[in-house]
Chain A
Amino acid sequence: MKCSMFSLAVALLFCLSSFAKAQFNIPSIPNPFAPSHPSTPTSPSDVPLNGIADMAKGASGISLSDELKIGGAVAVDIVARNGGLVEDEAMTRRVALIGKSLSSYCTRPELNFRFGILNTDSINAFSAPGGYVFITRGLYNSVQDDQQLAAVLAHEISHITRRHALKIISRNEFMKGLFSTGGAVANVSAFDNGISSISDTLMGKGFDPSSEYDADREGRALAAKAGYQRDALLDFLIQLYQIKGDSKSTFNTHPPLSHRIERLKKSST
């Protein structure tokens, strides 16, 4: 029993130290058993191309350049599989202005977020790495006001800033050897299969519930930072739930509305 208590304490302390590292960027303690780097570059001209790409890699281990290739291809699939885009300048400008007012306060200033409306009646929203955010026409017509629209966009932006899709991709075998040292796609058929697999996941079962709840929390914080109502997402989900319950026609790639509402209510108090 003592042993299990000790294990629990050690595990909790480990979790806490990992969290603290993430919060405060505490550098990792070097592994004394790791071999020293054979040839440390001494000047910028010595840095190999893949070294430059590595410098831009985030927690997922995927460089910004690779993220834009993957995200662009996934965005193509999202548009192709959801009825294309609504090519209405006024509607797109409204969504983009709200989206950009949010993304100007997000923690990935290196990205240029782009927002579009998918031409389908279903109520849903998607994001792709690199800054692509989509809502459906059904969702656009369901929100009561800009506050609710901002809440949904902030949720999707948070999937990107928290690198939820990239974390799935980095665990996928297809990433290995996919890009050459110059950043080009080295294996076209592996790239195509990998993108299709990611798109199937994102538009099939969606992110895992913990990523969705994380995006709900982070999105709410982002909306508040940008000056929107903190609980607009909660209000919108309750409004949808009252009409449709936990119907699969609403946010079918997200956890049931009732679960999200419950979590948001709990974390509001």
Chain B
Amino acid sequence: MRKLFAGCLLALIVSLGLVLAEEVEAGHSAYVLHDGEPLLADKSPDATALAKLKARHEYNVTEISGKWAKIKTDSTEGWVYRGNLSREEPPEVNNSVFHTEASDTKLTAAARGLDDDAKQYASRKDEMASAHQIVWMEQQNDAISKSDVKAYLKEHHLGEYGDGQ
């Protein structure tokens, strides 16, 4: 009997855990991953943007329809692709940590090359050739813009550009 009780309790906890681990759901709050995420008039990435949502701001999810979530703001309601939402508050993108100059505050904090301390480590370990290769790799990666990624998603029917709603 006690074993049965313990088993049931465990099953309850596990199933509750699975529910909690689920993605965004109606009736719960959610955060957008990226500042300026458009709130769309319809369940399509090409729909009219009604507003721009703020990162680190908690929004209410009022409805889920396939891969889209209906979000309510103070003034309006609209749709966001569920992949762009998180139940957990994303970390702050804080340029001040890097003592960023005002002229490059548009760069994300981590959009920088191999850290100087990592380069010095490479020099001390006689691994400068590897450091140079990482710099090359970073240049190759940084040549890909956000619009390139968006075009790639669109071309390959991925994310919000996927087939079906």
Contacts and interface: CB of A to CB of B under 8 A. Distances in A.
Interface of A: 1, 5, 8-9, 12, 15-16, 19-20, 22-25, 52-53, 55-56, 58, 63-65, 68-69, 71-73, 75-77, 79-80, 84-85, 87, 89, 92-93, 96-97, 100-101, 104-116, 130-132, 146, 183-185, 188, 191-192, 195, 221, 225-228
Contact of A84 (B118, B130, B162): B130
Main secondary structure of the interface of A (DSSP, over half): helix
Given A72-B114, A184-B117, A188-B124, 18 more contacts: A22-B88, A23-B20, A72-B118, A72-B119, A73-B115, A77-B130, A79-B130, A97-B144, A101-B158, A101-B159, A105-B33, A105-B84, A107-B33, A107-B90, A112-B112, A112-B141, A114-B141, A226-B159
A257 to B, nearest CB: 25
Interface in B113-165: 114-115, 117-122, 124-125, 127, 129-131, 133-134, 136-138, 140-142, 144, 146, 148-149, 152-153, 156-159, 161-162
Contacts of A104: 146, 149, 153, 159
Interface of B: 2, 5-6, 9-10, 13, 16-17, 20-21, 23, 33-34, 55, 82-84, 86-94, 96-98, 108-112, 114-115, 117-122, 124-125, 127, 129-131, 133-134, 136-138, 140-142, 144, 146, 148-149, 152-153, 156-159, 161-162
B79 to A, nearest CB: 16
Given A8-B9, A110-B93, A228-B158, A105 B149 contact: no
Contacts of A25: 88-89
Ranked 10 nearest A-B pairs via Cβ: A72-B118, A227-B158, A79-B130, A225-B83, A116-B137, A80-B130, A72-B115, A73-B121, A85-B133, A227-B162
A65 B99 CA distance: 10
B133 to A, nearest CB: 4
